[in-house]
Structure 1
Amino acid sequence: MDHADQVKLLSRLFELRDAKTTTFAPATRWQSTSIYVDSEHFDNEVRTLFRERPLIAGLSCDLPRTGDYLAVELGSIPVIVVRSENGQVRAFLNACRHRGSRLAEGRGPANRVFRCPYHAWVYDIDGRLLGQPVARGAFDGVDRDSTGLIELPAAEGCGLILVGPTPEAGPIDVPDILAGMGEEMASHEFDSWTLIGEREGTWQANWKLPYETFTEAYHIFALHRDTLAKEVLSTPMLSEFFGPGGHGLLTGREAPKLQEKDPGEWTFKGHANLVYWLFPNVILSMPMTGHAELWQCYPGESPGQCRVTTRFYLPQEPSTDKERSFWERMIDFTMSVVESEDFAQQEAIQHNVESGLYPERIFGRNEPALIHYHESLDRALGVSTVVDDGKAAYLT
């Protein structure tokens, strides 16, 4: 991020600190817990949020060179995202047109072709069918142009790669989706970063619960008392919103010392954690250590299950074994804290909600991003999930 923008955000953060407050929502929100267990609501989420709108597949640096691909599950849709011959990003259903086998796993250079493991049908990185080995005329009469990979809309912008959920989906306007955050996101220049690690896990919790843990700092002093709280404060937290998403700035313990220095020396690094809320299911966290974390939360097969993928990036490749070892330990530490503290809490919350005896949750005014997130979900889904007159209700 540009230094001038860092100074502006830090200035607003320090204004909150000097006033001994944090960003507040206009009012508390009594949230029905039915949204974490109700099958009808879950089906509406999957259809509306994950099958009718573009989703973030990764950062531009996930595909640094022509022929590089990334095989991902966007919700329940298997997708190959690839840097094509003209340098643009294209996306295809990860399914051979012959019998539907997956063509690729993980990531890497495609060597300009994808080869099906089942019958060795071969496709180029633009999705065209190149060959059907040992077929001996078995597919004569089948138009090869009609047997290319099924293409999905894809777009790259502001350092992000987005994919549409169906071939019929319209063009993707990345700046429009970011609703005013595009220039700020682009300033990070994610096209030149490098991946240093990735993890994936499944959890017995509704997919929104892992997302929620990144929307507020209120829990840090208690839940992370012996870990994250040694470096990051629960308050103040600056929260600002752009459309359904937004960004937040968390205060590092050393941040107040910046106020004793000239603003020309102010920087997030070592002093503040920046987090982006990218609706509906992605968190882009940029801790004060200088790396970036992309957290993607997906629904599981039922309301009480979810899948979370995490990727870690650096502005440049580590140049020494000592650096690589440091970042390996940093990834292990981050995953240990999030999994054993944050996500363990979310599984416990899910269990309590599924008891049927816990009808509502209270979102405080000091959790404005949490409230904004659920307001945005309600608008996208065309429902209200607030408690009505003191009763938990799922209101259509």
Structure 2
Amino acid sequence: MENKELIHAALQASGAVKKGFALKLGIIGGAIFVVLLMLMGMMAPGGGASTAGCTDTGAGTDDASPVSSSSGQSTGSVRKEQVANAKIIDGVAAQLGLPGRATLIALMAAMQESGIRNLHYGDRDSVGLFQQRPSADWGTRAQILEPKFAAESFFKGRGTNEGLIHIKNWQTRPPGDVAADIEKPDERYRGLYAGHEPEIRGIAKEAGINLDRKGTATGTTGTTGKTDGGATQASTRGQCDAQDTKGTGGGKFSDGKQTWTLNNPRSVAEAIAWAKSHAGSNSTGSWYARCLAFTAIVYGWSFSGVNYAIDHYNVVPKDMRHDGDRHPPPGALMYWDTGHRAGHIAVYLGGGKIASNDILRSGYIDVVDADLIETKWGAKYVGWTPPHFPKAG
């Protein structure tokens, strides 16, 4: 539309044609101003309600509105925070023996979920870099807000949640698809993760991250582990730690007859049934160095609230501890000193059997004779307690 036509249309809309001359002059001036604004709008790039230049990502995409899918680049303090967090995420990946592609996937997920910022808010109870939820078994709020803890959870999984290393063929699939498989957004938003790859590569370059670093699909086990109640501990295997070292053991275990009344989400019978149904061929491979998490989850808790297995023995009141007693009642928690910081814990199923992670297969739960912890790992049996979780949630 020509400028004159725009002015005439504006005049007609204002009714200036029918009014006095003095009034016309005032209205004409106002109309010209309006037209100038319209012309400026036509010349402005982008424009409209899409706000294509906005890159402030939202707090997660799990049933929430999607974040901006634009490729605008953050600047200033936000960019510094993104680079700093990217280095932390990559450091965890490298420590776990994962390749640079794992870092790429994690950063794409974090960009979509939080803008690679350690947010203290989100959809429902989601927080942190990956918008993980305490109520969904990703750890406590404080734990999730620890970047190393959150990154390790993303890579290795936590509680009942699978991590990157559990995604089949993750190394060869499109990185955005893998990120979405872990984050599990609403189907409408799955495609948004892939759009962040160009910017992530720029951030990685700025942070000095080698996205072509070599590694394995599951990382190098034994270099670092997950904890149920704290951040990554590079010097241990996690909340429980042991290695094959032949030992003599202290003999077989038999059932005691003690009973108790505790406020666990699951009863003893329900907990034993749950443990058995999630062992052997039904076990997932997500339990590496996570004996304390498993025992808490067996009894229906999301987490134990304690960093290490052996520490849980001392968290339980003294009058509930049965030092060295080899007659635990079914459902009891059994403890071993493995010679490492974390120790080991398992649920006693009765009949001399326990449900334990890592004893036959790394990362898996199996039902075995309780004395195998001593004879295979060379661990020292400490004792047993009722299934009391004073810090669980």
Measured against the shorter chain, the TM-score band is: under 0.3
Which of structures 1 and 2 has the larger relative contact order (alpha carbons within 8 angstroms, sep 6+)?
1
In terms of Rg, which structure is larger?
2
TM-score for both structures, normalised by structure 2: 0.25
TM-score for both structures, normalised by structure 1: 0.25
